Chain A
């Protein structure tokens, strides 16, 4: 029998203290019944003797110390899953909000998941063609990777994420594909952009949406991404689908976490974020991957907005230490009108090396990629120098590099959100741009490759 307690002692911010309870476990899900019959959910943060500290998932408005009842469910926070989730919209706590029929769950899964045994992972190495040159050519995405987009306020990260969701495919395969989308504290307009884009392309039928809008309770944001990942794990590892998870915006998530931490009066780490922010983020990001005994995969694209475009802010910083690279958007490119405005030099995909080359993309990929990077870097340096000293001060070679950098930005980076380039088109474009420079500068490309692919005219 489930006991009910009317011993709420304190409610402060998102926290509530319940006294005189027995048999409550750490991390257990609880329910609070208000005098008007409304039921809200909470989670055990700390058991201390017979006192239990719980964290509310919704607002505390209306909770009455004398009249509200608390009961504990005997299990953690769970999500009911079933293959019928595809095409549905849920709120941040995993309840359907699209007016459709109630889901008949196949099973209920703990939203915290369990760590994947590193000995049971497959190393991600299947090339995903996103149709975006700056990603395919330079920061290649592979199945099972977690590659965040670091953006800033006012930059079109949503367009880029939607473009990837629209165009991404693994060539030569016809496998089951799904998108799990988690809106974490974003505005209605932003969420609506994604939903209507998914509708327009028909992708909505293979998409599961979890929506916590800016107006929804901030504390709910702590569970929203975990709900989404639990759904993704179910689809990937039990239904053998290839799942692309898009979570936007992680910054809102971290702020919700900070709110709880501050309410608990924990010793803060940098900028008031809790010391365990790294571990907490890792338990989400690390759920991406491929593992033995399953055909499916989870590829994750979390989006975060860097406060003040500052990459060293704790949220992008800790994210960068966990994820396998990052795509950074640049305000400068955006102002120039180059879309998608990817800042190529600091962007990185750590898993690209095993996903490219003969048999995967093309044999010349690695060499041209490195050459484009270093040539563009040198071009940028030359341009900076040019700003200070004028063009005349540059050596002829540096002038050439500066021109190369301009052309690279205008053609390679700037492709728009609706152009879908094959990897061959991307690589050929790279060669065409490199041929603005003398052949002898191609130190990063093997001579055989130059022989074979150098544009002939």
Chain B
């Protein structure tokens, strides 16, 4: 039965319709002549409050509202990767071809291309008993992603028929006989409501790091595969660059990048740049492992609220195939603002700073969808979903509600600092207040795969930076001359650690991504110099002369040495450190 109502009230993206008693909460409705897409978010007797995902100008009282009877869902199947969608999974490229370069109202385009033909290779046999998550077959979606066609959750039965061959996403590839005896057609595509987390068999604690190639992150504040992190920072502190770097270089199988209420040009940048970049692991184009969700700040605000869920549902779908997926959301503050705007229009009692009282629980629900899991399906495969959210605190003040609510949930905090950004220290992650709760849990992995003393070395980095901060306090009060020779050396080495190791230029080819062993070697280099210089100073060398040694410039350039030449160059630097310091010591002793 079709449920049809009439509009009673319009206030921005909120529409109230009468005659909707039969409709379900969270059903998708089509509003007005242009059939704008909306969702029921409240019911009061006969009246349904609807948030509309498109601009509502031109809608008035008496316009028709039709319920589709289904919740807001995404289409899951081959063809998601390399695509760019808006917040409710409409394909932006297809919309551009259809409607031109601006987004007009009421465009209806299926998310998955209905005409594209995929080659499906069946693995399940006729007569097999299959359950949720069992693999029916494969489609090679891109060069790097082999798309598993799975039995949808909550479905089990016997395979009546299944064929390999070339199919469109809506073609029938086979049939299942369900337990109740009915026959169910199988297609390459399934649908899933975005506000419901996709099920899995079991959640596991994360134990493997997500390698990002960003030195300050991997070495000091690592994130685990299946972990959660947030990047708060005022504008201009490089949040977006950090997010882009993670999307480019993280060693995951798939990245879902959600541009939520951010700049249009940033999404364009990703769209134009990623196809040109090579994934360091596979050598293929980065776009082959990327799904983009773009709901830019000028697009309707309600769809911004949905975009986060659309993105994470797509990510969960690939996680269910056993892949390691990263969801990167820029920025969750804009999502929270969308929530606040709808809440205000619903005339709800506001919590802090006008945000709705349920802000924290909604944020928690989002981040809890991350994790390392045993997927559904008989093969017991494991998948991981890592979630990284940018936060844009107003005025850079992280005591505001969105940042604080986020910090209570996520395990890694990369706090960006505008004073670092002004000095062009990028990534501007403040080492004094950032943290990662995964550090200890990931220690065994680093010990096994990089070096036994990885934890010790990175621990020394943290300590050195802490000591530096304390010494800086003294210098500010009484000047650098008041420090002992050893302390002055410590300050110099800390500066070297900051400039030569932690600073990383995202726009320079050999510096943008750093392999773990190179990170380790680079850190060692800084500490080698520290150790030897300390001995030299103890043996009588002048601190000023030590800090002025020409080798220090070469250490400064070591990070940009191409990976292939690293080993040779670093060995040469190490030799030169010894020679130059020895010469200083010899000269100093000769003077005496």
Question: Closest CB of chain B to A385's CB: distance in Å?
Answer: 7
Contact-residue size bin, chain B (C-beta under 8 Å from the other chain):
35 or more
Say which residue of B57, B298, B301 sits within 8 Å of A27 (CB atoms): B57
- Asked if B269 CB lies within 8 Å of chain A CBs, one says yes
A-facing mask of B366-386, CB < 8 A → 1, else 0? 000000000000000000000
Asked if B236 and A47 sit within 8 Å, CB to CB, the answer is no
| CB <8 Å contact, B556 and A443 | yes
Residue of B nearest to A24 (CB): B60
Measured between beta carbons, the chain B residues less than 8 angstroms from A2 are: none
Interface size class of A (residues with CB under 8 A): 35 or more
Q: Are A385 and B476 in contact (CB under 8 A)?
A: yes
Contact check, B297 vs A348: say whether CB atoms are below 8 A apart: no
> Scoring B residues 310 to 329 as 1 if CB is less than 8 Å from chain A, else 0, what string do you get?
00000000000000000000
Does the CB pair B422–A25 fall under 8 Å? no
A395 to B492: give the CA distance in the assembly, Å: 12
B212-220, B394-402, B404-412, B567-575: which one contacts chain A?
B394-402
Interface pair A25/B553, CB less than 8 Å apart: no
B264 pairs with A317, CB closer than 8 A: no
**Nearest neighbor of B93 in chain A, beta-carbon distance:** A119
Kindly specify which of B95-103, B124-132, B151-159 makes contact with the partner chain: B95-103
* Residues from 349 to 405 in A contacting B, C-beta threshold 8 Å: 350-351, 353, 366, 370, 373-374, 377-378, 385, 388-389, 393-395
- Determine which of A118, A122, A267, A312 lies in contact with B344 in the assembled complex, contact meaning CB atoms within 8 Å: A267
A279 to B298, CA, bound (A): 7
Which positions 285-341 of chain B face chain A at CB distance < 8 Å? 294, 296-301, 334, 337-338, 340-341
User: Are A48 and B8 interface neighbours, CB within 8 A?
Assistant: yes
Q: Cβ of A393: which chain B residues have Cβ within 8 Å of it?
A: 479-481
When each residue 264-292 of chain A gets 1 if its CB lies under 8 Å from chain B and 0 otherwise, what string results? 00111110000110110011001101011
User: Provided the pairs A112-B57, A120-B101 are in contact, do residues A23 and B62 lie with their beta carbons within 8 angstroms?
Assistant: yes
> Which chain B residues in 513-554 approach chain A with CB under 8 Å?
544, 550, 552-553
A118 near B104 with CB under 8 A, answer no
Q: Would you call B478 an interface residue if the criterion is a C-beta within 8 Å of the partner chain's C-beta atoms?
A: yes
Give complex CA distance A25, B294 in Å.
29
Chain A residues contacting B552 (CB-CB under 8 Å) are 440
Assembly CA distance A264 to B301 (angstroms): 20
Tell me whether B362 is interfacial, beta carbon within 8 Å.
Answer: no
The reply to whether A270 and B353 form a contact with Cβ atoms under 8 Å apart is yes
Residues of A within 8 A of B550 (CB): 440
Assess whether A314 is interfacial by the CB under 8 Å rule: yes
Let me know if B297 and A114 touch, CB within 8 A: no
B392 at the interface (CB under 8 A from A): yes
- With A312-B395, A370-B424 as given contacts, are A279 and B268 in contact (CB-CB < 8 Å)? no
Of the candidates B92, B104, B423, the one whose C-beta lies within 8 Å of that of A373 is: B423
Among the stretches A80-88, A153-161, A192-200, A318-326, the one at the interface with B is A318-326
Complexed CA–CA distance, A23 and B479 (Å): 75
| Nearest CB on A from B99, distance (A) | 8
**Best-buried of B102, B298, B423 by chain A (most CB within 10 Å):** B298
A287 to B517, CA, bound (A): 46
A351 CB, min distance to chain B CBs, angstroms: 7
Contact between B481 and A119 (Cβ–Cβ < 8 Å)?
no
Q: Is A345 an interface residue (CB 8 A)?
A: yes
Distance (whole angstroms) from the CB of B109 to the closest CB of chain A = 12
Tell me the residues in window 245-275 of chain A with beta carbons closer than 8 Å to chain B beta carbons.
Answer: 266-270, 275
Do B553 and A443 have beta carbons less than 8 Å apart?
A: yes
Asked if A348 and B236 sit within 8 Å, CB to CB, the answer is yes
User: With A275-B344, A279-B301 known to touch, is A123 a contact of B272 (CB < 8 Å)?
Assistant: yes
Whether A286 contacts B263 by the Cβ 8 Å rule is yes
- B480 and A395 contact, CB distance less than 8 A: yes
The interface residues of chain B lying within 8 Å CB-to-CB of A388 are 476
Is there a chain B Cβ closer than 8 Å to A293's Cβ?
yes
Contacts of A385 in B (CB 8 A): 475-476, 479
Q: How far is the CA of A151 from the CA of B261 in the complex (A)?
A: 26
A-B pairs, top 9 by smallest CB distance, nearest first, are A312-B395, A282-B297, A393-B479, A27-B57, A120-B101, A286-B298, A320-B235, A25-B60, A118-B267
A-B contact pairs, 6 of them (CB 8 A): A48-B8, A121-B101, A275-B354, A317-B235, A374-B425, A385-B475
